[in-house]
Amino acid sequence: MLTGWPLAWLLNLGFRKDYWLRRAINEDELEGFLLDAADREFPIAVTMDDRKVYVGYIVEGFDPAIGRKCILLLPLMSGYRHQETHKVEFTTFYTELYGAEYSAGPTNQDKALPAPLDHLRAEDFITVLPADRIASCRLFDGRAYLEFQKSTPEPKEPAEIDGEEPARD
C-alpha cells in the first residue's frame, strides 16, 4: 500500500496524458489541429456555418473520454463573413476590454478586467462553439492578417483562376 502512490506517480511520468490524448484523437484532423494550436497557445480563426467568425485562444477542446464535441474559445475578435465576398468583417474587439496582456496568450483569464468592467474577468467571455457547426478553422496571426489587408488584388475572372485565357469581347 505504501508503494502505490509513488509507483503510480512514476508510471504517470512515463505515460503522459498528452501522449494518450494524441493517440485517442489520431483519426480526427480537427481535434489534432485544435490540440496543436492549444499547445502552442496560438490563436485560431473559426468560421461557423452561419458565417459568424471568432478569433481567439482555445481554452478547452474536445474530450474523447466523455464525447464532448465543442471547443471553448477565449475570443480576441469576432465578426462575420460578408455574404457575397466572404471577406471577414470584424465587429467586436475583446482585447480592448481585456487589455494588451491577453493578446499574447490566455494565461491571465481569471484576472479582473480594468474599470469600468472590473466586476468581470476575461473567462466570463469564453464562448462555446459546437464542432458540428464549424465550417472552417485555421491558425490566426494578426500581423499576417494586416499584411493581407494592405494589398487587395483585383477580382479575377473564373477563367483566369483556372489558368485559361479570359474571354475578350
The CATH number given to 28-150 is 2.30.30.100
**pLDDT digit string, tens, across residues 79-124:** 999 999 899 999 999 888 776 665 556 655 667 777 787 888 888 8
Domain residue ranges of the chain, discontinuous segments joined by +:
28-150
Q: What is the mean pLDDT of the chain?
A: 78
Q: What is the pLDDT of residue 49?
A: 95
Q: What is the pLDDT of residue 117?
A: 77
CA–CA distance from 161 to each of 149, 164, 165 (Å)? Answer: 20, 7, 9
User: In this structure, what DSSP letter does residue 74 have?
Assistant: E
> Which of the four pLDDT bands, split at 50, 70 and 90, describes residue 25?
low
* Position 125 pLDDT exceeds 60: yes
Asked whether 53 and 76 are in contact (CB, 8 A), the reply is no
Report the b/e string of 22-35 with b at 16+ CB within 10 A.
eeebeeeeebebbb
Task: Report, as an integer, the average pLDDT of 139-159.
Answer: 78
pLDDT above 90 as % of the chain: 30
In the numeric block, the cell 480563426 is attached to 45
> Which of the four pLDDT bands, split at 50, 70 and 90, describes residue 158?
low
- pLDDT top residue among 156 and 37: 37
* Position 14 pLDDT exceeds 90: no
> Which of the four pLDDT bands, split at 50, 70 and 90, describes residue 148?
confident
Q: Which three cell numbers stand for residue 150?
A: 494592405
